[in-house]
Structure 1
C-alpha cells in the first residue's frame, strides 16, 4: 500500500482533530451537546449513505481506489462513511460557535425572505433539470426538506446562524472537495449533472452540502428541545 492510499482518510482525520481541539472551548463546551448531535448525524448520514450507494451503483459517481485504504462497507469506502460523521460534527461545531459568539446578531425576517426565494429556485431547478439525475435529486430533495423546514418546522429563529455557518464553511468545503475532485478521489460522470464546476467541484455538491448542513442543524435544534435528552 502506498502513502497516497491514505489521502482521503487523512483528510477526514485532519478535520476530526481540528473539530475535537475546539470542542472543549470554555464558552461553547460542545462536547456536552453530543447527545443532541448524534441523532442528527445518524439520521442525515443514513439518508446520504443510501443516496451514495445507489448513485455509485448507477455510475453517477465513483471512487478512485488509488487514494483509498481499500476497506468497503456496502460497496462504499470506509472514508466515505467517515465523511458523513466528521463533516456534520465539524459543521455543527462551527454553528454552535457562531451561536455563542454572535448571540445578538439576528436577522430572522431577512433570512426567511431569502429562504423563500431559494425554495422557489430549488423547485424550479428540480423541474427544469429533470433529465440530469444528480441535479434533479439534489434540488428535489432540497425543495422538499427546505419546504418542510420553512412551513412546518419552527426554525425561523435559527436561520441567521445557519446561513452564516454555510457561508463560512464554504471555504473548508471547497478545500476538501477540490482535493477530492482534483486528484481525483471521487469522479463524477457529467452525463448526470450540469457539467458546471467551481474549481473542480460540480456545482451540485455545494447544494448537497447545503442540504446536509440543513438536516443536521434542524434535527440538532429539535433534539435540544426534547426533555428526554436533558
Structure 2
C-alpha cells in the first residue's frame, strides 16, 4: 500500500463506468449533461459536512495512504470521492433501466421507505448526541419522506433495485477504505455497529448521497426532455 492507495481506489471506482458510458444501447455519455449540476450541488453539501466531520473528529484520514494535498482539511481523494462514487452509481442505475425490466413492487418500496423513515426518526431522537448518526439520518429521513410521500417519485422502485446492486461495489470500496484503513472512524460519534469493518451509518449515508444525486438527475432529465419537445 502506498500514498496512492485512496487515489487508486477512486480511479478503480470510475474506470469501468467511464469506459462503458459509450455502450451503444445505454449511451450513458448522452446523459452526462443531466448529471453534473446535481452532482455539484449534492457534492458541495456533503463536502461541507465532510469538513465539519473532519474538524470535529468524526473521522480522520490515514496519512500513509493519501497524497497529502488538502482542501479545507479534506484530502484531494476525499473530494474526488463525491464525484467518482455518484457517477458510478448513476451509471449502474441507468444500466438497470435498459437491461433489467423487473423492479420491486410498490408495496416493497412502501415498506422500505416506511421502515427507513421510522428508523431514521428513532435514531435522530435517541442518538442525537452522535454527530455522524444525527446528520446521516437527519438528512436521509426528510429527503426520503419528501420523495416518497410528497413528490411520489415513480423512479424510487428502480432506485432501490439499483441501490441493492450498488451495495456490491460499496462493500468492496468501503471495505478497503475501512479495513486498510484509509478512513478512521471515531465510534463515539456513531452507533458503534459495523458490518465487517464498515460503520452501519455508511449504508444510509450512501443512500442519502445517491438519492439526492438521482433526484436531481431525474428532474433535470425530465426538464431537458420537456424543453426538447
- Cα deviation for residue 103 of structure 1 reads 3.4
For residues 149 and 178 of structure 1, do their structure 2 counterparts lie closer, same or farther at Cα, with a shift above 3 Å needed? Answer: same
For residues 181 and 229 of structure 1, do their structure 2 counterparts lie closer, same or farther at Cα, with a shift above 3 Å needed? Answer: farther
Question: Where in structure 2 are there 5+ consecutive unaligned residues?
Answer: none
Aligned to 2:122: 124
Aligned to 1:184, the other structure's residue is in SS state coil
Aligned to 1:94: 92
- Distance, in Å, in 2 between the alignment partners of 1:143 and 1:104 is 26
Aligned to 2:137: 139
- Distance, in Å, in 1 between the alignment partners of 2:10 and 2:109 is 31
The alignment's C-alpha RMSD in Å is 1.5
- Distance, in Å, in 1 between the alignment partners of 2:107 and 2:192 is 35
- Is the 8 Å Cα contact of residues 127 and 133 (structure 2) preserved in structure 1? yes
1:178 aligns with 2:169: no
CA deviations over 1:114-143 (Å, ceiling 9, x no partner): 212321221112111112121111111111
Choose which of 203, 207, 212 in structure 2 pairs with 1:206. 203
- Is the 8 Å Cα contact of residues 28 and 96 (structure 1) preserved in structure 2? yes
Aligned to 1:4, the other structure's residue is in SS state coil
- Is the 8 Å Cα contact of residues 93 and 162 (structure 2) preserved in structure 1? yes
Aligned to 2:74: 76
- Cα deviation for residue 105 of structure 1 reads 4.0
For residues 4 and 229 of structure 1, do their structure 2 counterparts lie closer, same or farther at Cα, with a shift above 3 Å needed? Answer: farther
- Is the 8 Å Cα contact of residues 108 and 160 (structure 1) preserved in structure 2? yes
Aligned to 1:5, the other structure's residue is in SS state coil
- Give 1:1-16 correspondences, 5 Å limit: 4-16=2-14
Aligned to 1:195: 192
Question: Where in structure 1 are there 5+ consecutive unaligned residues?
Answer: none
Give the TM-score of the pair, scaled to structure 2. Answer: 0.94
- Is the 8 Å Cα contact of residues 108 and 158 (structure 1) preserved in structure 2? no
- Distance, in Å, in 2 between the alignment partners of 1:105 and 1:153 is 19
Aligned to 2:184, the other structure's residue is in SS state strand
